[in-house]
Structure 1
């Protein structure tokens, strides 16, 4: 699933190229997770503003509102001066005077939703449960410690919820917990303030590394230029079951938490 680094990489790769463009046409393919919420032709002649990201959503402002876009489990956005005829998994095209923005999503869990603003429905409802951004000054060790005190679930699952901090998806939660030396099975409320400080810093550091490397490509993620990410090549625990820990040499373990694979080193990561 595209996570915060992949979504932010996508935003950065398309935002300066589409800003200021005027919509000339819209094409809808097969239905996505949620309906567009307006007549496609009503978007024609609207001007595109500066795209921003909130969690795993991209907000593309248009005159009088904007499009809230989500990549779902396997989606990607591409922006090009010219595009080929739509294939089976190409479900949305926004044609503009500067190129075409296309959403491709084999599993159709992605979405493009019209809203008259971020602070009103449907956008406000979709964004309501999101936690703080990891690079926001409000995301501190003290904030993380206080939020985790209310959780009786494993710390890895608390991070995946997205209502404490956004962006710590499965890959990055595994890597951040390893960097902080914290066992993913530790009950969240038992994390001390000093360890919360280390974890908050590890989350910021891992996500910054992932952004610098264009995110992770495990199957088919590409940014709006069509480039794949490379963070997966730097992973120290994720996807390395049975391989030696690069820190202590013990075999990396894999367990399942909340239906997701968790990778960790039982020696370097303590409860």
Structure 2
């Protein structure tokens, strides 16, 4: 699943090119996770003012309303001046005066949803419960501490939940906890203030580095220009079960938490 860094990398790869474009046509393929919410023809003529991100959602600000895009489990966006004809898994094409934005999604868990504004109940349902943005100025340490104190679940599960801090998905949760020296099974409410501060900084550091490296391409992720990411090549623990820790040499362990694989170093990460 594309995580926050991959979504941000996707945004950066086409936001400047589509800003100011007018929508000329819109084609919907097979149904996605949620309906568009308006007839496609209603969006023709509208202008794309810019592209923002909230968690794993991309928000295309229009001169009237917004489009919320989610890549789901296997989706990817492309933006091209001369695209190929739509294929079997191309379920959303938005032709603009500057190029065609296309959502390819083999599993169709992604979505494109129209809302009148972020205050619209449709948008609020998708965005209203999201936690703090980890790469933004509002990622406040005291508020982060307060959020963890109230949670008795394992810290990795709290990070994945997205209601304290948004966008720390499975790959990056393992990497963040390694950098912070925290065992993923440690209960969030047990973390001391110094350890919480290290975790707060580790979240910023790992996600920023992942964006810099173009995200992680484990299967088929690419940005809107078709470029793969490289963060997975420098992962410290994720996907490295039984391999030697890059810091201490201890074999990396893997466990299951909430149906997801978790990787950690039993020597470097303390309960």
State the TM-score, normalized to the length of structure 2: 0.98
| Partner residue, 1:55 | 55
Instruction: Output the CA distance in 1 between the equivalents of 2:138 and 2:90.
Output: 38
1:206 aligns with 2:206: yes
Q: Provide the secondary structure at the position in 2 that maps to 1:26.
A: strand
Instruction: Output the CA distance in 1 between the equivalents of 2:194 and 2:141.
Output: 8
Instruction: Output the CA distance in 2 between the equivalents of 1:82 and 1:44.
Output: 19
Instruction: Output the CA distance in 1 between the equivalents of 2:50 and 2:34.
Output: 23
| Partner residue, 1:144 | 144
State the TM-score, normalized to the length of structure 1: 0.98
Instruction: Output the CA distance in 2 between the equivalents of 1:129 and 1:233.
Output: 33
Deviations 1:69-119 (A, max 9, x none): 000011000000011111111000000111000000011000000111112
| Partner residue, 2:37 | 37
Question: May I ask how many residue pairs the two structures share in their alignment?
Answer: 271
Q: After the TM superposition, which residues 97-136 of structure 1 pair with which residues of structure 2 at under 5 Å, given as runs?
A: 97-136=97-136
Instruction: Output the CA distance in 1 between the equivalents of 2:240 and 2:140.
Output: 30
| Partner residue, 1:240 | 240
Is contact 2:93–2:100 with CA below 8 Å preserved after alignment? yes
Is contact 2:59–2:68 with CA below 8 Å preserved after alignment? yes
- Once the 2 structures are TM-superposed, how far is the Cα of residue 142 of structure 1 from its aligned partner? 2.5
Q: Provide the secondary structure at the position in 1 that maps to 2:49.
A: coil
Q: Provide the secondary structure at the position in 1 that maps to 2:21.
A: coil
- Once the 2 structures are TM-superposed, how far is the Cα of residue 146 of structure 1 from its aligned partner? 1.4
Instruction: Output the CA distance in 2 between the equivalents of 1:19 and 1:232.
Output: 31
Instruction: Output the CA distance in 1 between the equivalents of 2:193 and 2:79.
Output: 44
* Unaligned runs of at least 5 residues, structure 1: none
Instruction: Output the CA distance in 2 between the equivalents of 1:58 and 1:137.
Output: 19
Instruction: Output the CA distance in 2 between the equivalents of 1:172 and 1:59.
Output: 23
Q: Provide the secondary structure at the position in 1 that maps to 2:121.
A: coil
Deviations 1:207-238 (A, max 9, x none): 01000001111111110101011100010000
Higher alpha-carbon deviation: 112-121 or 86-95: 112-121
Q: Provide the secondary structure at the position in 2 that maps to 1:207.
A: helix
Is contact 2:73–2:109 with CA below 8 Å preserved after alignment? yes
| Partner residue, 1:10 | 10
| Partner residue, 1:28 | 28
Is contact 2:135–2:207 with CA below 8 Å preserved after alignment? no
* Unaligned runs of at least 5 residues, structure 2: none
Deviations 1:30-65 (A, max 9, x none): 000000000001111111111000000000012210
Give structure 1 regions of 4+ aligned residues with deviation exceeding 6 angstroms: none
Is contact 1:32–1:111 with CA below 8 Å preserved after alignment? yes
Is contact 1:145–1:192 with CA below 8 Å preserved after alignment? no
| Partner residue, 2:92 | 92
| Partner residue, 2:256 | 256
